[in-house]
Structure 1
């Protein structure tokens, strides 16, 4: 049998490892990225000695040491609409271990057009999911998700983080389903979605809707008969390590260099950190006020009162009469833009006139450009 693994990261590493150990005849390994130290807690095929190497080559080298009888075919590049269908047709089973929405739609459509089963896994923070698409009359990815989510609502591992063992568990179950399909045993996950909650230590099966007769790619009268521009369709990139949102105009944003200058000049302001509590516990700027974005989005009264109090205190301390600056920071500069939009709509009566701006690139840009001792995670 032959299996194509799309993505040699947190899911693809354990998946490929068990497929190689099982003696799959040919294993295709697709990945456009290179090995980085920050990946190693979840991408266990790679190691420190392979930093900077393409992940597809690194994975193939590690797997050869495990089982040299398997044929390994590394593809060092992103799966593209131009090449995906031809590549998918060369393999019996496809495993989607990608971490972005455009690639999920691309792999799904290629599998439907080529008539190949797709074993799809995902993991984020402390949760994982697994589904088998386009198998024995079951639905495809588009049947469940006809339209992509707005780009600003999507979180990947680089944005939200993941406990390394979670994709390890999901990847192992993906390997199990691939082997069951390849051996003719079949899989029940074309009718159910497997949900894994690592915090509770619980697995659940969610019954899937049946295949949709009006699905755009696998329906009775499909409108998608060839692969398309999936980045345009989804409004996001398939190859960015970290998604970059552009929700604000330049006048509502400042660079980390500009913020450092404000600090040095002791310009009165409030710095608002909107990361989740678990990230703030890892590291933070000592003068920042911490209110998670989720609390702002739900207009939590306790947190809003706390923010109002801190702004009033700073205004009184500096005797400020003009629009008071509030600078917002997060990990990468995405959630901070959403927070600025919320702050711009706060009532003037309670909060006074605010000048809210986000800090471009967030705390990771601060660590890279201003303070190399600041932890990167």
Structure 2
């Protein structure tokens, strides 16, 4: 669930494109995120999907007529005041042009122009129309007018071929809009944050490797929390299983790969967060071919230490840079974490017990203690990782301020 939309008044405007059917899923997902949703439709939208569908989904009358009214006041004016956010999904070329030029000729355009709500528009159309000079100018105008434009995807169009112009999936629209709307007023705008995620892999041979149970979920949650606050985020990760709008991913495999990528990105960064579970050791030499089992014989593999990413970043940080480490422990958690905070020259350290089954590695939840050099420890009880990530980013924002 994306709690950004909880208790917000959302007006969804549906226009007459073939992708209008996706607006039904958008409405349903917003309601699942505990938003209060109403829907307005153009005349042509009703040729693709009925107003009854949206009335059933939203449990509210659908705005289709400029002269609809309730007992209090003109309906479209009341809705314009009611809305916190307006989504125009999908937006046809005609609707983009009208909104860019201020043409008000029906119920939905009248509602939009009368509203001071945040406005999100997701164009969907043929690729030739999308790239026409007039359309490019119109979209530029909307962006200048502070509209949040969700760019179309490349995909299979109604014309029967792949090109840009396809409406993104409703969940992508919802998640991207939430991140970008929050980032507009984010306290970390203009700050660069480098985050590591996942468990590194150390090759034994072309088939096998040494690794750990880390899924990278905590690192990805931190990346989302950082972009929500407006930061420029670089995520150095061992997997690319989650896509977060506005996050630049650097895909790596081994600890040495991650070490090199972090040092490259950290020079002009404001914050480093080492959330990855890195391998402390690697084989002295990886076999060139697959190691074959020999009956009755044991296998001995010599290991050597990997670079200590957190310690090296801590040694090289400037007074203006903030370094945050993680300590995944199975015993004496706070004792080891306090030592690590000092030894690695970190400013903050997030300690968690990974021996439990309902939190930590590969779980949606975690329980942590945040240690700082200049503050008392902060204990966060069992919570979703995204909630913990937002708490961590809030502390970072305060320290940078």
Q: Report which structure shows greater RCO (CA 8 Å, sep ≥6).
A: 1
What's the TM-score, normalizing by structure 2?
0.26
**Greater Cα radius of gyration, structure 1 or 2:** 2
More strand per residue: 2
What's the TM-score, normalizing by structure 1?
0.27
